[in-house]
């Protein structure tokens, strides 16, 4: 196979990020629109089991975070996950994962902007279509302006972006904590936590489904910013593992408390008609603000409407920052044109920021509401991160003596377990989501195959022999989802837990096949040596 050495791109990002800034970037990214809507949609799907959804999600994300706590410092570059896909699995897998990751990041800012306008519609009517959570034409126009605003701020150097985010993050942490305290003190209905026999099975299954589609995983993915901003950290080998693990623990604790407070605060009369699945109350498009007003805490409702701009806005800001760095890495591997990685004299990746605005603006049209987009984003992002457990074992085998600032204990057990759990999350997203995701990915695969035919010598250099595990993995996940019960959009041939068992077996088989099909150890060592050279000009 041809060398997988990344392309050299002129210009460097500045190493100005501190440990404090990295942790706040991760926590700030986690506490965005997810806290404003996640507890509502999770409760509607899982009822009292919604608290379990957040615990399952926290466990799954902590597994991924531990894997990347070891991997992140090994490639302290912008968009490290893109390089990890490339290093052990060759160009074609690296290119596919580059696009998966790019699309998952490019859609975050639009969804946060949609959240801002959804809350704002409660006091500025007309941003949404009447009796709907879909953006109106007026809402679309304002959304494009807001997205441009967040992109424009990112033209500042990274230390100023992180300073702005740090200030917003302290606000973003304080308001949810305050909301939990007020709701627990003024509106507590312990009967809401009782699981009724007629709904027990549906709620229990919903507990797992909500992890993927209720905003749980979407809300807890903020840890990845420590990985993506490693290229601008002053001390990435020390700071990245600490920031990754600490941010998951902080964000999970806040979200579990919010879910408990939300369930306890709902008035039993709002559940009497149709239970949790038909939960509806006045102002439900701004659920926490509506609950605050209902318990007489009007002052808190005002704060929450302000926070409905600050929290999603801060998340949109930091995701635009890291998405630009992921785009740099995508260009570095050759999956995007070289001009995308242009950096100005202030260290700002201006070309990738413009590309992100264009792509983000397009995504408003097929996904004009928060709930429509969240399941797609969560599943696409988790799918992009399943390469981590594979890369960890590949690098352990190829470079056992490589210095690792954080070495994951029991990696031969935790890595395949993480791969299985991540596959479950994709499975829980349901057949409709997988139709969209896998359809897109197979279209990309065909595109790269045609590229190999049209470009002389390109086919043999793309590393097809290292990617055959992807086809049975994707087809297997899709097939099991097609046979899954109706709650996941399937035909019902398989039960819920028998489907999960099938996914686990498939995932373990694919995991070890992918390890076996890795590129040569010498090629991986050459690639990693490239990143160890301090003088390298790649971003």
**Residues 505, 500: Cα–Cα separation, whole Å:** 9
What's the token pair of residue 499?
A: 């489907």
**Residues 396, 483: Cα–Cα separation, whole Å:** 37
What's the token pair of residue 222?
A: 């903020």
Burial class (CB in 10 A: 0-12, 13-18, 19+), 199: middle
**Residues 59, 414: Cα–Cα separation, whole Å:** 12
**Residues 233, 21: Cα–Cα separation, whole Å:** 9
What's the token pair of residue 531?
A: 């990143």
Q: Is residue 357 within 8 Å of 147, Cβ to Cβ?
A: yes
The CA dihedral of 429, 173, 284, 219, to the nearest 10 degrees, is -10
| pLDDT the model gives residue 535 | 36
State the first-to-last Cα distance of the chain, in angstroms, to the nearest integer. Answer: 24
Phi/psi of residue 264, each to 5°? -70, -25
| pLDDT the model gives residue 8 | 41
What's the token pair of residue 514?
A: 């992918």
| pLDDT the model gives residue 169 | 74
What's the token pair of residue 505?
A: 């077996």
- The ranges of the chain with pLDDT < 50 are 1-11, 13-16, 534-539
Per-residue exposure over 383-399, b if at least 16 CB sit within 10 Å of its own CB, e if not? bbbbbbbbbbbbbbebb
DSSP secondary-structure letter at 7?
P
**Residues 5, 20: Cα–Cα separation, whole Å:** 33
Q: Is residue 428 within 8 Å of 56, Cβ to Cβ?
A: no
**Residues 3, 20: Cα–Cα separation, whole Å:** 38
Q: Is residue 313 within 8 Å of 67, Cβ to Cβ?
A: no
| pLDDT the model gives residue 244 | 83
Phi/psi of residue 231, each to 5°? -65, -15
**CA proximity to 144, closest of 294, 364, 393:** 364
CA angle 108, 35, 203 (to 5 degrees): 105
Q: What confidence tens digit (pLDDT) does each residue in 260-302 have?
A: 999 999 999 888 777 898 888 888 888 999 999 998 999 999 9
Question: In 3-state terms, what secondary structure has residue 17?
Answer: strand
Helices 50-71, 33-46: crossing angle, 10 deg rounding: 130
Per-residue exposure over 139-173, b if at least 16 CB sit within 10 Å of its own CB, e if not? bbebbbebbeebbebbeebbeebbebbbebbebbb
What is the pTM for the complete model shown?
0.85
Q: Give start and end residues of each alpha helix (H) in 121-268.
A: 137-153, 158-186, 200-213, 216-220, 224-228, 236-265
List residues bridging with 128 in a β-sheet. Answer: 135
| pLDDT the model gives residue 336 | 73
| pLDDT the model gives residue 311 | 85
CA angle 31, 245, 504 (to 5 degrees): 95
Q: Is residue 290 within 8 Å of 262, Cβ to Cβ?
A: no
Phi/psi of residue 467, each to 5°? -120, 5
């Amino acid at each position: 196979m041809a060398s997988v050495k990344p392309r050299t791109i002129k210009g460097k990002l500045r190493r100005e990020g501190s440990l404090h800034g990295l942790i706040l970037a991760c926590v700030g990214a986690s506490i965005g629109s997810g806290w404003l809507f996640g507890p509502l949609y999770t409760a509607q799907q899982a009822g009292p089991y919604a608290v379990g959804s957040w615990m399952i999600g926290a466990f799954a994300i902590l597994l991924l975070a531990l894997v990347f706590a070891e991997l992140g410092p090994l490639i302290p570059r912008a968009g490290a996950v893109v390089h990890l896909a490339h290093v052990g699995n060759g160009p074609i897998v690296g290119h596919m994962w580059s696009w998966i990751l790019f699309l998952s990041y490019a859609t975050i800012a639009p969804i946060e902007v949609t959240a801002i306008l959804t809350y704002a519609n409660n006091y500025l009517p007309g941003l949404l279509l009447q009796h709907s959570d879909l953006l109106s034409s007026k809402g679309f126009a304002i959304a494009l302006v807001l997205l441009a605003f967040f992109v424009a701020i990112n033209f500042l150097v990274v230390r100023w972006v992180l300073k702005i985010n740090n200030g917003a993050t302290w606000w973003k942490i304080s308001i949810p904590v305050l909301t939990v305290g007020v709701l627990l003190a003024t509106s507590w209905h312990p009967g809401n936590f009782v699981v009724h026999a007629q709904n027990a099975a549906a709620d229990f299954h919903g507990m797992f489904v909500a992890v993927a589609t209720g905003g749980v995983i979407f809300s807890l993915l903020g840890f990845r910013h420590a990985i993506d901003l490693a290229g601008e950290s002053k001390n990435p080998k020390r700071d990245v593992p600490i920031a990754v693990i600490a941010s998951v623990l902080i964000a999970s604790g806040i979200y579990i408390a919010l879910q408990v407070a939300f369930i306890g605060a709902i008035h039993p009369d709002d559940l009497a008609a149709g239970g949790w699945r038909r939960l509806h109350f006045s102002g439900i498009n701004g659920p926490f603000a509506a609950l605050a007003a209902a318990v007489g805490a009007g002052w808190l409702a005002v704060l929450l409407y302000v926070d409905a701009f600050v929290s999603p806005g801060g998340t949109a800001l930091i995701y635009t920052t890291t998405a630009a760095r992921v785009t740099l890495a995508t260009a570095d591997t050759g999956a995007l044109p070289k001009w995308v990685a242009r950096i100005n004299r202030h260290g700002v990746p201006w070309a990738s920021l413009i590309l992100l605005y264009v792509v983000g603006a397009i995504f408003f049209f097929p996904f004009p509401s928060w709930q429509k987009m969240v399941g797609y984003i969560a599943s696409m992002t988790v799918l992009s991160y399943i390469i981590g457990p594979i890369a960890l074992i590949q690098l352990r085998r190829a470079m056992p003596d490589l210095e690792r600032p954080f070495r994951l204990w029991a990696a031969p057990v935790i890595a395949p377990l993480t791969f299985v759990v991540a596959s479950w999350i994709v499975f829980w997203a349901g057949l409709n989501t997988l139709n969209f995701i896998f359809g897109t990915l197979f279209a990309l695969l065909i595109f790269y195959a045609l590229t190999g035919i049209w470009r002389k010598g390109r086919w043999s250099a793309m590393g097809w022999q290292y990617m055959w595990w992807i086809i049975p993995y994707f087809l297997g996940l899709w097939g099991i989802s097609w046979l899954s019960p109706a709650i996941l959009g399937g035909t019902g041939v398989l039960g819920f837990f028998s489907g999960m068992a099938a996914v686990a077996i498939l995932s373990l088989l694919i995991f070890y096949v992918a390890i076996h099909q890795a590129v040569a150890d010498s090629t991986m060592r050459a690639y990693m040596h490239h990143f160890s050279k301090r003088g390298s000009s790649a971003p």
